[in-house]
Structure 1
């Protein structure tokens, strides 16, 4: 188990940041297209290292395998060096991308070549015009990534490094997602922010900011809290500025950028001029920007505050619709009914509660304005830190390029030293602990209770013990909680608005798609690829560990629904993979995203239980 294994894993020199960002986005596009189109149309192959003469497109010193993708609709081919075959399209790349159009010779392809070719192919496939907006989003994402890498070139810290406190280590993980979602064409696109605004507000730039406050009439406010108090009480306590509203009014916080957006809206400007609304400015204590960009962590880590941003980040405009706020609190209320049972069965599993929200219903305003006020108060990580557990955002470790792999390698190396293990044995044992902590409680919630959270990498934290090993799995962001039919009666017994109830309740199939994608594809596929780090034997061994984890779950909880789904996976049934490229290309809302079948090695690997 070595690090790094290839040039693709090296952290770029700041002077090479633009080229690295462009190369990274070419690979992201290959990731997306391979999984969403080429694998579906059987136009992808991984060619073995040829004997003697290498592949005609590859550099003279390349003797590894080559991923080739045919694009017959545009009479072209793409190829790139890879370390090994991956049935899930989690490839480790070793070269630039190369392009051959028609009968022309192979040539090195820049990001614009790759993007234009893929977008043109998708245009012909869907019989739609070329999507210039997507091209622009990719360019924006490259510019953001390049700027981050140029300005923050320091060697990444590892969890538990002595120079950082546990809280600083956690914040570092929130602000260390340098390459972003590995299966999104434009993971760092924030086109509404200027470069200067990026540096002030983005987590990758270590942003810390104070909130902006508006005073609005009391009758405009909608609020709720899980303690059945007034939701804005908790939010007011976050201010730290000693603000007191005038009689008949309330004070609501905004992200400072959002406050500027709001003031530019004609109805808000008119309310400010008339005195119906009052701008109190930027006040109080600073908050740390976190991985989701719009969610901020209080200085004492006791709470998060999730604010609205009327701008697109990846697939969505990131404002807080009222039904999403209600869904988040409903997720907390439902989980509280199950919490004692879950703590007994899975003591390392934790759900960060969504505790209160406020939003505004401004007379005569449209939903875009109202949703722009939505604010959610979430439980922080102070309680976890007090238990001597080190929380780390999963996305900071997995699917985060060299930065994440170096962190994971340091953790496994520490775990190996503590337990007298070889690195590969330690890697399997470390992953076995992670898989047990993540898989069993998530499947139990789904199959025994009908509750599906959204445990993808950015929505989950792994809690590490003193040896650097996983000891807990923490889920957050409950606004997209979904309930399978066996849990519908729980939501129907609550006083919920029709839009909230409709969003919460779904079919068994939709609930499984949520868990199949978020937990298995988005999370575990990346965990396995990161830990294996190009070692194909270890890669298959880790899939064997996951197979054991699933079999162990069925032995403990043989629910018929669990048996049908898990036995299906172990027999080779595909997992659902989200089509982020297709969603962006078709300009669809995230809720309209398509899910494609993704085949995996669970049906063909041997059991590989890790034991000390």
Structure 2
């Protein structure tokens, strides 16, 4: 078996300093993390239109990819929908690989070195995320909406770089990753209002005279802005890491995070700030045509200091759309419950999602309704009542 020790070893070394109590659990989680990332990678290799794959041949034993340079990559039958880590190894010209980073390195195709580095980070960070979970799962359901978000440990179920966080140290992952359940102290940077672009309103509590106080993620303050800023509100990180729920019943704040997470840099463009209020109003007009089956979280205010590195968006908490006794659960977090195991419940949820999706499609709008952006309002008994969409 081939190992790519770099990212895994670096995390182990840092972990020994930061949280020595997690070292053995981290090591135990590595094989499963490799399989989880390799499964996602194998799905992509099996189905994406890759110019260096000449043919795909399926037989009783599995799937064979014939590469344009004459090599052959063999693995199990590909399943476009499976989320279990069923791919434990593949074979490149007869050589066995259980490490997705080493496989991508040895494939040697265009951009493979960059992707291999991200895959290595994804494996190491995923193992760290799993190692930090309670040994005994909580029996009680989450009490706050952000607690549902923090139950999603593995990240994107299909993206190979589901947990890649390059630029984040182990200490920072433990301090900021939602799956580690931290409380994050945001920073604020005061900027003269005349130098800012504001969309919608900006709350008085985030103003200082003629200056706007822009919430900044502490990672961004330290690594990108290179300034500490002032002490800001305390918040709970949500699934996207850079979006946080302010403590209490406050709104959610999306911060600029100029780091590559799940293959995209998560800063906030000046353009998106400028159109945020208009798009929010448009979304509300769409929701009004769904007979109460869909709500969009409204943008309460957005600001940028004319830089994608220094910007923030305030928006409603999805909890706004829950009635008494109801819960709002991200679709990605449903897998942490028993609800999807019921065929009747699954049929009811599917009917709701398709009704909303097709109704909007009839209006010319297609939602990017993945498990992070889409939430479902559940009754006290768990019945799916309506949907909430954000971002």
Length-normalised TM-score, structure 2: 0.84
Classify 1:232/1:30 alpha carbon distance in 2 versus 1 (closer, same or farther; 3 Å). same
Matching residue of 2:15: none
- The answer for the alignment partner of 1:97 in structure 2 is 89
Structure 1 residues 223-263: Cα deviation after superposition (integer angstroms, max 9, x where no partner): 121xxxxx222xx43x6xxxx624x3332221111122344
Q: 1:365 maps to what in 2?
A: none
> What SS does the aligned partner of 1:392 have?
strand
Structure 2 match to 1:245? 208
Distance in 1 between the 2:67 and 2:299 partners? Answer: 49
Distance in 2 of aligned mates of 1:173 and 1:115:
34
- The whole-number CA distance in structure 2 between the counterparts of 1:263 and 1:349 is 38
2:164 aligned with 1:189: yes
SS in 2 for 1:467: coil
Counterpart contact for 2:159–2:262, Cα < 8 Å: yes
Find the partner of 2:280 among 313, 316, 332: 332
Q: How many residues align?
A: 366
Mapped to 2, the partners of 1:94 and 1:453 lie a distance apart of 30
1:375 aligns with 2:312: yes
Cα distance in structure 1, aligned partners of 2:187 and 2:167: 19
Change (3 A) 1:34 1:212: same
Please identify which structure carries the higher strand content. 2
Summarize the alignment of residues 598-609 of structure 1 with structure 2, pairs less than 5 Å apart. Answer: none
Whole-Å Cα distance in 2 between the matches of residues 20 and 357 of structure 1?
41
| Cα pair distance change 1:93/1:164, threshold 3 Å | closer
Bigger-Rg structure (1/2) = 1
The structure-2 alpha-carbon separation of the partners of 1:355 and 1:430, relative to structure 1 and needing over 3 Å to count, comes to same
Q: Is the 8 A contact 1:78 1:97 kept in 2?
A: no
Q: 1:22 to 1:338 in 2, by over 3 A?
A: closer
Question: CA 1:250–1:206 in 2, change beyond 3 Å: closer, same or farther?
Answer: same
1:100 shift after superposition: 4.8
1:291 positional shift? 0.5
Deviation at 1:108, TM superposition (A): 5.5
Q: Post-superposition shift, 1:458? A: 1.2
Work out the CA distance in 1 between the residues paired with 2:388 and 2:43. 28
If asked which structure has higher relative contact order (CA below 8 Å, sep 6+), I would say 1
Q: Report the 3-state secondary structure (helix = DSSP H, G, I; strand = E; otherwise coil) of the residue aligned with 2:48.
A: helix
Name the counterpart of 2:13.
Answer: none
- Residue 232 (str. 1) matches residue 208 (str. 2): no
Match for residue 27 of structure 1? 39
Q: 1:392 aligns with which of 329, 332, 340?
A: 329
| Kept after mapping to 1: 8 A contact 2:284/2:295 | no
The corresponding residue for 2:263 is 315
CA offsets per residue over residues 387-425 of structure 1, 9 Å max, x none? 42211111223xxxxxx3xx34x2256xxxxxxxxxxxx
Please state how far the C-alpha of 1:79 moved relative to its aligned partner: 1.6
Matches within 5 A, 1:43-82: 43-45=56-58, 47=60, 66-73=61-68, 74-80=70-76
CA apart distance, 1:93: 5.2
Secondary structure, counterpart of 1:199 in structure 2:
helix
Deviation at 1:153, TM superposition (A): 4.4
Unaligned runs of 5+ in 2: 1-23
Give, in whole Å, the separation in 1 of the partners of 2:263 and 2:97.
30
Kindly report which structure 2 residues correspond to 1:113-262, keeping only aligned pairs within 5 A, or say none.
113-117=102-106, 119-120=107-108, 123=109, 128=110, 130-157=111-138, 163-167=140-144, 170-225=145-200, 231-233=201-203, 236-237=204-205, 245-246=208-209, 248-262=210-224
Q: Deviations over 1:459-486 (max 9, x none)?
A: 1112222332322221110xxxxxxxxx
Look up the match of 1:432: 347
Distance 1:325 1:452, change over 3 A: farther
| Residue-by-residue CA offset, 1:516-551 (whole Å, 9 max, x unaligned) | xxxxxxxxxxxxxxxxxxxxxxxxxxxxxxxxxxxx
User: Per-residue deviation at 1:196?
Assistant: 0.8
